[in-house]
Structure 1
Amino acid sequence: MYTHRIVIVDDEPSIVKMVQLVLQKEGFQHIHAAGSCAEALDTIARHEADIVLLDIMLPDGSGLELCPKIRALGNPHILFMTAKASDLDILTGFAMGGDDYITKPFNPLEIAARIKARLRRIEETGTSFPRELPPKAQASAPTIYRFGRFQLSVAAGELLVGGAAVPCPAQEFQLLLHFCKHPGIVFSKAQLYESVWGMDGLGDDNTVMVHIRRLRERIELDPSEPTHLITVRGLGYKLSKEQTGV
């Protein structure tokens, strides 16, 4: 059984019911639903959602516009459910704060698989959702990675840049943590997607590229001339080994 709180935001009752039934069969018990932007914000805040399945087209607005407002409430994992599958739509979703996406029509078992993959990554890395500090992290000193001007605290789930706390959505945090654990090693987009998102996927180069870009905007002095997250042309990305302590 999973104790994580899930909110499904979609105005089509048949889709909500189908996803809810599959998630319940897969062991998720705390599932709530909302059919509009206004209802979604209230439901997500009231139940302190860990995972939000967010439709883009809602009756009173856009899920894209709703995404930053959800981020203001906390740091849930946001998975867009969308019939819009163009590169521009997907990139816009990531730019607004989404962590992952799935296109309609979809198999609800894939949503369950993506959520479970996300939870496995949290367990493997020792990080957590904001309100759930794992016992191991509570019982031991936090692991801190320091590279140049940024510092990543695993137990606190915190990114410091130039000594100041910088908001970092969960999926970006996981991606940066992966790089911190393997400094100087080049990873292809496919390797990063499989390692951080937990699934093989076709057409997910955009997912990695957008998250890399957003991380650079947080940690680099000049995102267009990165010195930490470096592109290795034709191969992928690596984190510079210039490390100031662990």
Structure 2
Amino acid sequence: MAKRSALYAIAAPAPSSARTLIEHAYARLRDDIVSGQLVPGEKLRVEHLKERYGVSAGTLREAITRLASDALVVTEGQRGFRVAPITTEDLEDITNLRVQIETEALRQSIRTGDAQWRQRVEQAFAAISAEEPIAPGRRHAWEQLNTRFHEALLSGHASPWTVHVLRLLSRHTERYRSFAMALPGCVRDVHAEHTAIFEYTMAGQDARAALALEAHIRTTPDLLIQALREGRASLPGSAAPLLEGKGLQDS
């Protein structure tokens, strides 16, 4: 009986205060990875980072372990953790998966969405339109509104798993978008892209809306691949300008 009680004690959840600290550390680390402040491939040294984030080593390890389950961090056996690398092969995979899931979810949402759904989409579009073009220092706010807009589009067809999967893919996409948006000569009218998706959606034209959404999703990888091809950029964490794998040449 004592043995069973000991096992239960080990498996018991952390107190709410500890969970709050873990959540806070997880969110800060995730944002720093997604924004590129923690560089792809960078070793996550717990003893150094605990000072930066103001938490204990144990709390930091818990947060990093959660990030590993999100594929934003990779484990190295007994050697610790590193920020997950970014490659064109990875970007291609993420992009194709987003296109498959998100465009079909939008079509279903347009077909089944009600008046409340339309109102959510209209409000989300108005909110992000007010932040475009993206002002320096406002990228984090814009990213939150961008997520809200995309989720509102799909909310007419309730699917918790679709939302869960797309949120994970969105964080990975944002890593590449953060890099692509800083490229010299990167010209893109995101507001026009959002407007096309919104107008087709509100008009009930599910096929056109899905095509506009696919073009929107593929624009970031296309711009990034072009810059890599032309030698104007190299991916963070790589030793030289690169096009790893076949990239998105056929996308």
TM-score relative to the length of structure 2:
0.26
Query: Structure 1-normalised TM-score?
Result: 0.27
* Higher RCO (C-alpha 8 Å, min separation 6): 2
Higher strand share: 1
